Amino acid sequence: MKAEPFEPEIIAFCCEYCSYAAADLAGSMRLSYPVNVKIVKVPCTGRFDIIHGLKALEAGADGVFAFGCLEGNCHFERGNLRARKRMKYLSGLLDECGIGGGRVGMYNMSSAMGKQFADAASEVTEKVRALGPNPAKRRPGGRQGVHAPPSVPETPQRHEAKKTDRGE
Ligand code: FES
């Protein structure tokens, strides 16, 4: 049986003033981009915090990217510069943990750059596909890949203790 190709889940935090509008424009222009990219609209990429990226990765995303206004055009002055700094920090953190800093990043564009949005969405999908599945995603049963505690082997004493707990 042939294995299914890996299809990454990518979260894109898009600023509503520029890249969200650019994504909209890409749709109006009938440009296709990978369905792997799921958009989260934010008022400004400055709203993005490292914890949002970590939570998304823990919840199952294989990649997290911020798409903000062009530098110098942020409606909140320095929001996109802050987001870039946070993404850089997060990338370093993921590299240190062995998860892969390339899973996160930042793009800048204006609302008129529909084609650039579609191209960037394809680019991040290929980039994350090449990295493979996120090893830190929460697995069914609640355990995480990289920090899973060592499993405790079942011993006759533990088995008996469990029976006692259940009142058997
Ligand atoms: Fe678009 Fe700040 S308003 S990145």
**So where are the chain's domains?**
10-138+147-165
pTM: 0.81
- Indicate if the pLDDT at residue 17 is higher than 60: yes
89 to 17, 54, 57, 64: CA distances (angstroms): 25, 12, 15, 13
Q: For 147-164, write each residue's pLDDT tens digit.
A: 444 444 455 555 565 555
For 28, the 3-state DSSP assignment is: helix
Task: Say how many Å lie between the CA of residue 158 and the centre of ligand 1.
Answer: 56
Residue 4 is predicted with a pLDDT of 77
Strand order through the sheet with 10-15: 37-42, 10-15, 63-68, 104-108
- Determine the residue of 76, 81, 82, 110 to mutate for testing ligand 1's pocket, defined as the one with the most ligand atoms within 8 A of the Cβ atom: 76
Q: What is the mean pLDDT of residues 55-71?
A: 96
* 10-138+147-165: CATH class: alpha beta
Q: What is the mean pLDDT of residues 43-51?
A: 97
Q: What is the mean pLDDT of residues 25-48?
A: 96
- Indicate if the pLDDT at residue 23 is higher than 90: yes
User: In the chain, what percentage of residues exceed pLDDT 70?
Assistant: 82
- Indicate if the pLDDT at residue 143 is higher than 70: no
